[in-house]
Structures are given as C-alpha cells and as structure tokens.
Structure 1
C-alpha cells in the first residue's frame, strides 16, 4: 500500500507540463547523442550541468536522467547500422546487430533493441521503486574481494563470449588488461607504462579504442576491398518489424537480460556494463533453435538480451545513487553534481526529506521509457534510410563524427591520433580473426579489478585466503572456475569450435 501511495505522489509530481516537457527534451537529446557516434551521455550531461542552475530540481534531474537512459536506446542504432559502439554497453550489440543489418534485417534488429529496452526499462524502474532498500543492502555486502571475484567472472565470461579459438580470446583479454594498466597507479600515484608521453598518464581513452577498433577498423577493411566485393549493407531492407518467429525467440532472451541487468545494475563499478556482456554470454550458452542463425552472424537474441540487460541496469543504477549517495558510474557522479547544485544531499535522507523529488524521478522514468518507445519505433524507417547512403559518402561522415566525438570528450587532439592507430590495429584483428570485444572488457575491468585486488589484500594484511573465506567471493570464484572448466572440456570445446566457424 505504501508503494501505491508513493507512486501516486511521484506521478502527481512528474505529470506537470514543465516536467513532461523536460522529460521529452531529455529523451530526444539522449536518443540523438546515442545515434551520433562518439558523443555520449557523459559529455552531454557535463555540458548541460550549468543550464540546470535555473531549473526546478525535479525538472533538472528528469531531463538529465532522460539523456542517460535515452542514450542507451540511441546507442544501439549506430551499433546496428554502422558498426559503431558509441557506448561501452553497445559493444555487444555490434556483434549480431550489424550482421543483421548487412543481411537486410536492420529493421527487426532496431525493433528488437527498442522493445527489449522499453520492457527492461519499465521493469528496472519497478524494481527501483519496490526493492530500492533491500537491493541496496545487498550491494553494501559487496566488499573489495567480492568485486574482484565478480570481475574475474566477467573476464572469464569474455573468453566464453568471443568466437573463434580460445587462445585468441585469452590473448585479447590479456591485451586489454595490459592496456588498462597504463597510466597513473591509483594506490601509489606512480605513472606506469606511459613511455614518457604526458597524454598517457591518465590512461588511454576507452572511446578512442572502441571507435578505432570497431569504426575505423571496419572502414579500413572495407576500403581494402574492390568496390564490387565491398559488402556493407544489402540494398533492400524488407520487413521493418520482427516476425512472429523473431518474437518467439527474443521474448525469453529479453526476460533473461532484464533479470540479469536489474541485479547487476545495482553494483557500483560497471554493473550495468557487465550485465550486457554477461547477458550475451548466457544467450550464447543456450541451445540454438532449429533454423536459428548462429551467434555472431545475425541472431536476434544477441541484440535483444544485451539491450534489455543494459537498460535494466541503467534504471537500477539509480538505486545506490538515490539510497546511498554512491554514484555507480561516471554519469551518476554527474547526477550527484546536479543534486549538489540544487542543495540536495544524495543519500538515504532523499527518500524521507524530499519524497516528491525521489518518487517524481522514479515516475518520470516510466513516462520517459514510453516516450522513447513512441519516438524510436516509428522512426525505424528513417534510421534504415541511412543504409541507402553510398559508402563513398558514408565513411567520410563516420570518420568525421568519430573524430569530433572523441575530441569533444577531453578536448585533446592526441585522442584522434589514438583512434587512427587503433583503427589499423582493428584492421589487423579482422585479418587475424580476433574478436575485439574481450579486449575492451579487459580494458574497462582491468583497472577496477587491480584496485579491488590490492584493496582487499591491504585490508587482509596480505592474506590471499580472504578471497575464499568470504562466502560471496568464494561462490563467485567457483562460478568463474566452473565456467572456465566447462569451456576447456574437450566435448564442449569441439562443439564451441563448430558453433563459431571462422571465415
């Protein structure tokens, strides 16, 4: 009964003309920046923070939240259409979404992403409303050793995720971890592996690597072929909505992705990102139906499940922010800044001292998700028209947008050179048949993993048994060991190699 009263208070606060207008502005901006390669919600929210000075606190937070989860919708569009993951969570969507577009099924891929995102967003918001307090208590129980174990599971999952040989997948993860070690050491403040290049003291930009490996790498690969052999997209795109078979296959995948994202999104330190990778891994482990396209070749489940997972995670990532005052990611840290601007102290007291703000923001997420579905599904035809742009015009535009997006993040021309360098590396990976997705996961999780490993050992005074004496940590490490053992079993390994036949 309390929940109904709280939600009625929230919808009463959110259903004003001003707040509905700012929700629409946030959703439109979020979708737009998600579609434009290289310009993410982090840069946009940072630029718009000064604008929120003159706004009502609830209106400001509604708009910024709309930008955040709107970008999750928009990010899938460029991932599917032009093989560019604008956001870290879109890296997984690229794998099957782009292949669907190449086969003339961009419409169903975009629809699957939109429907999965809408359903997961609604469920994630419901969980935020109903289970904020108990889920926060679960997140509190995660110490450094648990986070380290969780990230080990994530990296093992990345090996399972990659197609092709296990050796190449392991090599990609290790390379990602090594790249993640570059920069300033968090504990000692010593600069490592920077080669006396000042720009590398703050680590290599994730965006530069992602854009280079996926965007520029694919462009170089296409330009290396003669015009008649250059396959980017098919000329005709038929059937903009998923078929009945597609719906039957993607519905359980959306449910699995939503459940996973809702739980992992609560965890600070990349839970929403990890959920997208884990959701894809789980889908690849489930049995293929008769006549179903293999993963990596345009399977609709490979789009629907990770998109549902990252959107559910995006909603539940508000739980530690609103209930503990702990921002789980960089975007949420900016939300803390927006709250501070309006003299609101994020934490448990928001729910009691400012219930209209808390429940109004929760209610606005349902409104925003409905707006995004209405905005995105009718526009599928418009996005698909991008496929008809001649490649000689499309690739310079992609190069330009990537360069502008990467430069605008840090205002540093060095990042543009990094994108170009990783573009050539991405082309080599294509030639060698290596999947870059595990490298990116290693790059993101590596620094967090090292930080939590060292923190856990400092607390335990160097006693390594801390990872097996704590029940949750030991359970997660057992899961990681089980995953690795299963993949290495000869029977599983042979079936895996049959499933991922390299071109």
Structure 2
C-alpha cells in the first residue's frame, strides 16, 4: 500500500483553492439558512458550481483529483452546517434533520429553541458559537496526524461495523428512559427507514414533519384564535401570504421535469 504523504497544500494548491473556498463558503452560508435540508445541498451545489467555472490550462479534470472539487464542497459544507443554527436559534425552526434532533435534545432538557435562548440560556448560545471555532481547530489537530488511522477504519468489514452501530444506538436509546419499548420503537422506525431507502424516498422530511408538526398545529390554532376562526387571515396578511406563495413556487420548481433532470446531470463526471 502507498504511504500517505504531502498532506499540507502547496503554494499552487492554495492559489487554486482560495477562490473556490470563498465561493463555497458564500454558497454554503446562503443555503444553510434555508429550511428543508439547505445545508445538506450546499456541498453538492458548490461542486456543481465549480464544474461550471472554466478550467485553467493544465488543470486536473474533475473526478480525477481537482482540488477545487474538494475545497469548495468542504467549505460549503462547513458554512452550511454553521449557518443552519441561525433559524434554529432565532426562530426555533430546525432547517434540516440534524437540527431537528437538536430541537429534541433541547426539549428533553426543558430548553425552548428560539430567540429566548440568547437571554434565558446565554451559556448554551455562546457555548455553541465557541464550539464551532473549537471544533474546527480540533479537526485540524486530530485529522492531520491521525489520518493514517482514519484510513485504516475504512478497511473494517461492514459485517462488523453495522452490528456495532446498531448496538451503540440501542444502548443510547435505552439509557434515555431505561425503557425497552423505546428500543423496539427504534427498530420499527429503522425498518420503516429501510423501506424508504428501497423505495428511493428521503426519510429526512418525515423527521422534520415529526418535529415541526406540533409547532405548526399550535401556531395554527393561535392564528385562528386571533382571527376569530377566519382562515382568510393566512392570505390577507402580507407576511403569511408571501411565505405561502414562496412555498408554492419552490414546490413547483422542484417538481418541474427540467429541474429534476438537471439535478441528476449535475454530478455526472465528464
């Protein structure tokens, strides 16, 4: 096996990847704020964007080791992961499945996500901000000297890795309430998730709906109480009407056949 060496980018690598990093960071920051998995799409969108940019003479093709194809998506991924906290901490709305899990964790500890977090739990808010900087620094410290060990982990057979993951998931779920019923529920929903994968259906929206559903129902009842039962309040108020129109437009755009084909073609290597 070949020995991994030359981990630190060269001067030429920096010259080529800095513009890609800036583009990926800007794109990831914008997409990370959007609900519905914008942070998850950031890396893919950044990669597609880099492929659209004209290549320099002598540059390695994408899919063959082009550093822009790594730098930009990774930057977008990091930026999207951090800006996805903005709707969670300001509006209490999780923009993706990972943030939905964080809402569940906060609820378990009697913490209501939203703008009140900054005043009622300032240690949590500023701790999250500090953890982003500390986490990135720790990634550099850990990954560079231990990259050989991480590569070795890829050689672990899946037949050993999968049971270990299931075991740790079961231990974590059981330790929450010390209830075996929770473990069975995880197994049932794991089977449902397996069916979703076989049907090529994304399971993340189900988790988002499970978290956002009660919040939507509560605010729907509150709006109807304020409007004395008039459903027209959702289309007569500029803010709610604008959000409904934007949601309808986004849904229509995603369902367009041309958009579907473009999404499939975006990551086909030349």
TM-score bin (small chain): 0.5 to 0.7
Question: TM-score by structure 2 length?
Answer: 0.62
Distance 1:300 1:322, change over 3 A: same
Question: Equivalent residue for 2:11?
Answer: 244
Cα shift at 1:303:
1.7
* Counterpart in the other structure of 1:25: none
Residue 444 (structure 1) aligns with: 202
Give the Å deviation of 1:375: 1.9
CA contact (8 A) 2:39 2:96 kept: no
Q: Which residue of 1 aligns with 2:112?
A: 345
Q: Which residue does the alignment assign to 2:94?
A: 327
Output aligned runs, 1:263-342, within 5 Å.
263-342=30-109
Hey, what's the Cα distance between the residues in 1 that align with 2:251 and 2:24? 19
Report how many residues are paired.
213
Q: How does 1:459-474 map to 2 (within 5 A)?
A: 470=245
1:43-54 correspondence to structure 2 within 5 Å: none
Alpha-carbon distance, 1:238 to partner? 3.7
Aligned to 1:398: 158
User: 1:399–1:257: structure 2 CA closer, same or farther, 3 Å change rule?
Assistant: farther
In structure 1, what is the equivalent of residue 146 of structure 2? Answer: 379
Is the 2:32–2:38 Cα contact (8 Å) retained in structure 1? yes
User: What's the Cα RMSD here?
Assistant: 4.2
Residue aligned with 1:296, SS: coil
Structure 2 CA distance for partners of 1:316 and 1:240, relative to 1, 3 Å:
same
Which residue of 102, 110, 125 corresponds with 1:358?
Answer: 125
Q: Corresponding residue for 1:4? A: none
* Partners of 2:188 and 2:249 in 1: CA distance: 43
* Distance change >3 Å, CA 375–CA 411, structure 1 → 2: same
Q: CA deviation at 1:406?
A: 6.0
Deviations 1:149-175 (A, max 9, x none): xxxxxxxxxxxxxxxxxxxxxxxxxxx
Alignment correspondent of 1:45: none
Cα distance in 1 for partners of 2:255, 2:52 equals 15
- Measured against aligned partners, the alpha-carbon deviations of 1:281-338 in whole angstroms (never above 9, x if no partner) come to 1111112222222112222222221111111111111111111111222332232233
In 2 relative to 1, CA 249–477 (structure 1 residues): closer, same or farther, beyond 3 Å?
A: farther
Distance in 2 of aligned mates of 1:328 and 1:366:
21
Residue in structure 2 matched with residue 194 of structure 1 by the alignment: none
Higher relative contact order (CA 8 A, sep 6+): 1
CA distance 1:341–1:406, change in 2 (3 Å): closer
In the aligned structure 2, how far is the partner of 1:237 from the partner of 1:367?
Answer: 26
**Is the 1:407–1:413 contact (alpha carbons within 8 Å) kept by the matching residues of 2?**
no
SS in 2 for 1:294: coil
After the TM superposition, which residues 175-254 of structure 1 pair with which residues of structure 2 at under 5 Å, given as runs?
235-254=2-21
Instruction: Give the alignment of 1:9-20 within 5 angstroms.
Output: none
Structure 1: tracts of 5 or more residues without a match: 1-233, 423-438, 452-458, 461-465, 488-492
**Cα–Cα, structure 1 residues 296 and 348, in superposed 2: closer, same or farther, change >3 Å?**
same
1:107-186 mapped onto 2 (5 Å cutoff): none
